[in-house]
Amino acid sequence: MKNHSQLLTYEDHAAVAVKRISRLVLFLSLIGYGLYSLLLVPLYTQLSANISYQDAAVTYILYYAFKGLELAVFFAVFAATIFAVFRRGFWGSRSVWITFSVATIVKFLANFIMDCIFDGSVPSFTYFVAKDLPIILPNLLMELGQYAIVLFMAVLILGRSKKKWEMNVLLDGDLAGGIRSTAFPMAKLLSFKNPVQVSTFATAILIFVTRAFSHLLYQLAQIVYIGDWEGPLVLTVDLVSDLLLAAIAYFVMVLLLSAFDRREMEALSNVSEGSST
């Protein structure tokens, strides 16, 4: 017979869950950004600069490969961040968001170093500050800013949900299923009563808004500097593709969040069974 006093609860297992998520983020950053910065982007840069390969199929394949890889890392890390915040809040999930923030900075530095290597130049701090930093810094800040917004929305939405759940516990006693029952298992693809899904939906909206803004900004730059733009049809296609990408991002993140939860329940069950023997 199991000794229930020895069994870990879902809340007790939160620190272990976040450690596992942190390792996943580190793995994704090393593998994903390693391939991105050290292989795919340098190859694409060199081929696209070569007249013989500018319109070659391999150049387009490399372009969509590194763009797709970057998006895959974003979606996975966003889902991991939401799950970690759900489990332990802002400060308790710091290993996740610090890991990804540092990895993002390293990605941009690696891109600079690889550009210098392929150009045959020796990287220097003076050259970096004068030539590359004005280009790298805005993109870096935009990427970190987007991630900070994802983190902030998760903390805000999930924090309010936890306070509401704790108030219900005080008023009605111990609610069956604990705080996990407010989000998992997911009964619907989208429910605005599920705080994790609301946070994920807000992240998907952010993805759409940032991409749509970049496309609108590009068209505006075309008008300002060239005096013409690509037309309403191209802009409409871009915006529709941004909307579809946001929908795909939401679906992928929901699948990952459900997978994270199942993994944690399996791990919790195994630990509890081991401690009861």
Q: What is the pLDDT of residues 186-214, one digit of tens each?
A: 989 999 999 999 999 999 999 999 999 98
Tokens found for residue 9: 């609860």
b (16+ CB within 10 A) / e for 85-120 = bbbbbbeebebbbebbbebbeebbbbbbebbbeeee
DSSP conformational letter for 191: -
- Which pTM value belongs to this model? 0.88
DSSP conformational letter for 183: T
Give the pLDDT confidence score for residue 123 in this predicted structure. 63
Euclidean distance between CA atoms 182 and 148, whole angstroms: 24
Between the alpha carbon of residue 225 and those of residues 103, 219, 228, the distances in Å are 35, 10, 8
For the chain, the average pLDDT equals 85
Q: Is the model's pLDDT at 277 over the cut of 60?
A: no
Sequence-ordered list of residues with C-beta below 8 angstroms from that of 155, at least 6 positions apart, any chain? 85, 89, 90
Query: What's the rounded mean pLDDT across residues 70-83?
Result: 96
* Residue 50 identity (one-letter amino acid): N
Euclidean distance between CA atoms 103 and 118, whole angstroms: 22
Cα Rg, the chain, nearest whole Å? 22
CB contact at 8 A, 197 and 254: yes
Euclidean distance between CA atoms 21 and 270, whole angstroms: 18
Tell the burial category of 34 from Cβ atoms under 10 Å away from its Cβ (0-12, 13-18, 19+): middle
Give the pLDDT confidence score for residue 99 in this predicted structure. 95
Q: Is the model's pLDDT at 51 over the cut of 90?
A: no
Query: What's the rounded mean pLDDT across residues 40-60?
Result: 85
Give the pLDDT confidence score for residue 3 in this predicted structure. 38
Most confidently modeled range among 8-17, 43-52, 84-93, 263-272? 84-93
C-alpha dihedral (9, 14, 16, 21), degrees to nearest 10: 140
Question: For the chain, how many helices (H) and strands (E)?
Answer: 8, 0
CB contact at 8 A, 4 and 269: no
Q: Is the model's pLDDT at 216 over the cut of 80?
A: yes
Euclidean distance between CA atoms 98 and 207, whole angstroms: 21
Tokens found for residue 31: 């593998």
Residue 170 banded pLDDT, cuts 50, 70, 90 = low
CB contact at 8 A, 158 and 196: yes
Query: What's the rounded mean pLDDT across residues 112-133?
Result: 72
Give the pLDDT confidence score for residue 105 in this predicted structure. 93
Most confidently modeled range among 12-16, 24-28, 264-268? 24-28
Could you read off the pLDDT of 53-65 as tens digits, one per residue? 878 889 899 999 9
**Spans of all domains in the chain:** 4-276
Tell the burial category of 16 from Cβ atoms under 10 Å away from its Cβ (0-12, 13-18, 19+): middle
Greater confidence (158 vs 53) lies with: 158
